[in-house]
Amino acid sequence: MFMFAAIRRGLISHSSSITRTSAMILTLGLLAACGGTKDTDRPASAVQADAPQSDRTAALDRTVLGRPWLITAFDGQAPAAAERTGTVDRRPSVAFTRTGYGATAGCNALGGLGTLHGARYYTMPGPQTLIGCQGALAAQENILDAVMRASPTITVSEGEMQLSGGGHRLTLRRDPQSNPAVVESAPMLSGTRFQIQSIDGTYLTPRSQAENRPLAFDAGEWTAKPVCGTISGKWRQDGWTLRASDIAVSREGCDAGGSTIDAAVQELFASEPNFSVGPNGELLIAGGGHWIAAERDAIAAARDTPRLTGSWDIVQLDGRPPATEDPAGQPPRIDFSATAYTGSTGCNSILGNFVARRSRLYTYPGPTTEKGCGALTAQENRIYALLRAAPQIARVGADVQLIDESGSMLIRRTGRASNAGAAARPLPTRYAGTAISLNGLPTQNRVSDPTSRIAIAGNDIRIDIGCGMVSAVIRRERQGAFLTSNAGSSDGGSCTGARRSLHDRVMRLLNGPADGIVDSNGALLLAGDGVWLTARTN
């Protein structure tokens, strides 16, 4: 819903080429994240990748795609004059981000998820705008759409790039007036659950209402059931790359078509594939000439995420047993109530509030004891850092693993009584406070930075970040809240540098499902999908 609000506020109507390109990436990236397209025209038995030509098999560095490109030819023909409405420039172009692409052939805007693997750009197309294009512009749009749906191969030489697929080709050159794409860190996949929608561009039509096509990632194992067989193995995440091993296949009465599709999944995971994730949980995994488009399975994630309520020992930290100063040799521990936690690092105490949402643990750490820990200082700092990083929650047998980008913490349930303290209240109807952090980083890095403030009145929420006011309506539901920004929200045009990044993350937080809590001291934690904010009362 944010995408449509953004269009109403004119994010794509700036006159400068730099602003115009950046806005297109933002708008189309969010447009594409609404979901993958479902192509029912091809039978499932016809699943096969367009093989790259022999002179296009060399792996490309992702920096090749680092800046937007202008389309200079469609199937070798120069583009027709683009549509122009007011200050909106629709020159044929393709803009790439780390997780997707946005494009126009001169009329409509289209986009989707995308990831580079080898010399091929794999895609999960999303919806597009619906301007009535005529003549040459309609033909150009059909070519662009066909190429991007085919997960095209890429050739780069002498400042030009060609995308070839679906029986067509695009010729592009760099836009000299554009900014490079923003560097993005990879989300953690451990503990996530998906439903496979298509393989190699072919939508897999369910044979019954009860049929599922699950794809699940636990701490050390992944499992998929694309058609009739179960495929599984060990895995680890290396940034935006998945490294799988010990791949096993269990056939369950597959016909020839089902065996072909399952084999494609097996080959994909064996190729050390790359992946992209959309803000609504869409997943694209690609490599070895194959690609999977999947959608988040919120029901399965809620079902499979371990319940943390109770008492736990910390039995491993980054693969090693932790040390302790406890005279009885008791290991470091952590206890959880419904929304609060307490424990020990092996030296000092830990406590705070938390929200467990879609297999991630979002925390608002509180005060701790401050005695000197000597040799345990590094261990203590690591535990603090992991809890602040919104780690993934994943099962390891009967144990639970909390995983961040630097490693993990393995915890094991105990029989002792939990000492986690009182639970916090749900998101209140009255609140006025100062924002402390966003995604674990301070919202005010310097004294000269403006203070960010948050206010809630009934079902209205406002966050002032000093260069713009982002506001939204709260729809309160039993399973949490859903936030929708309104037309009065800032478009971020007055924000620059780090404040613009802060603005865009707050905008994302206020557009979608979220969980919020406030404790008796006025400490507020608001967590969406991959974005979380902490605040304290004024």
Report the sign of the C-alpha dihedral through residues 333, 358, 201, 157, in that order.
negative
**Per-residue pLDDT for 365 more than 70?**
yes
Helix (H) or strand (E) holding 330: none
pLDDT for position 250: 85
Separation CA 123–CA 114 (nearest Å): 4
Name the residue among 122, 118, 123 with its Cα closest to residue 61: 118
pLDDT for position 85: 53
How many residues are listed for the chain in this entry?
538
**Per-residue pLDDT for 198 more than 60?**
yes
Separation CA 478–CA 84 (nearest Å): 46
**Per-residue pLDDT for 88 more than 90?**
no
List, for residues 494-522, the tens digit of each pLDDT value.
998 888 889 999 999 999 899 999 999 99
- Whether 49 and 287 have beta carbons less than 8 Å apart is answered as no
Lowest mean pLDDT across 48-57, 111-120, 374-383: 48-57
Separation CA 515–CA 357 (nearest Å): 8
pTM of the predicted protein model: 0.72
Separation CA 216–CA 190 (nearest Å): 9
Please, which pLDDT band fits residue 328 given cuts at 50, 70 and 90? confident
Separation CA 267–CA 299 (nearest Å): 28
Separation CA 296–CA 281 (nearest Å): 5
Report the sign of the C-alpha dihedral through residues 367, 368, 372, 377, in that order.
negative
Q: What is the mean pLDDT of residues 227-235?
A: 91
- Whether 241 and 273 have beta carbons less than 8 Å apart is answered as yes
List, for residues 136-145, the tens digit of each pLDDT value.
899 999 999 9
List, for residues 440-497, the tens digit of each pLDDT value.
999 987 777 889 999 999 999 999 998 999 999 999 988 789 999 998 899 888 998 8
Please, which pLDDT band fits residue 36 given cuts at 50, 70 and 90? very low
Full DSSP string of 21-82? HHHHHHHHHHHHTT------SS-GGG----PPPGGG-S---GGGGSS-EEEEEETTBPPPPP
Under 8 Å CB-to-CB from 478, ≥6 apart: which residues? none
List, for residues 293-305, the tens digit of each pLDDT value.
999 998 887 788 8
List, for residues 371-394, the tens digit of each pLDDT value.
899 999 999 999 999 999 999 998
* CA trace torsion 366, 219, 34, 388 (10° rounding): 20
**Per-residue pLDDT for 17 more than 80?**
no
pLDDT for position 32: 35
pLDDT for position 450: 86
**Per-residue pLDDT for 100 more than 50?**
yes
**Per-residue pLDDT for 182 more than 90?**
no
**Per-residue pLDDT for 70 more than 80?**
yes
Separation CA 368–CA 307 (nearest Å): 25
Lowest mean pLDDT across 247-261, 398-412, 461-475: 247-261
Which amino acid type is present at position 421? G
What radius of gyration, in Å, describes the C-alpha atoms of the chain?
25
Mean pLDDT, the chain, rounded, equals 83
61, with CB counted inside 10 A (0-12, 13-18, 19+), is exposed
Please, which pLDDT band fits residue 208 given cuts at 50, 70 and 90? low
In whole angstroms, how far apart are CA 409 and each of 1, 31, 352, 392?
36, 36, 17, 10
Number of H helices, E strands in the chain: 7, 37
Please, which pLDDT band fits residue 131 given cuts at 50, 70 and 90? confident
**Per-residue pLDDT for 151 more than 70?**
yes
* CA trace torsion 443, 276, 481, 197 (10° rounding): 180
pLDDT for position 89: 63
- Whether 377 and 371 have beta carbons less than 8 Å apart is answered as no
Separation CA 243–CA 235 (nearest Å): 5
pLDDT for position 464: 94
For the ranges 16-25, 84-93, 204-213, the one whose mean pLDDT is highest:
204-213
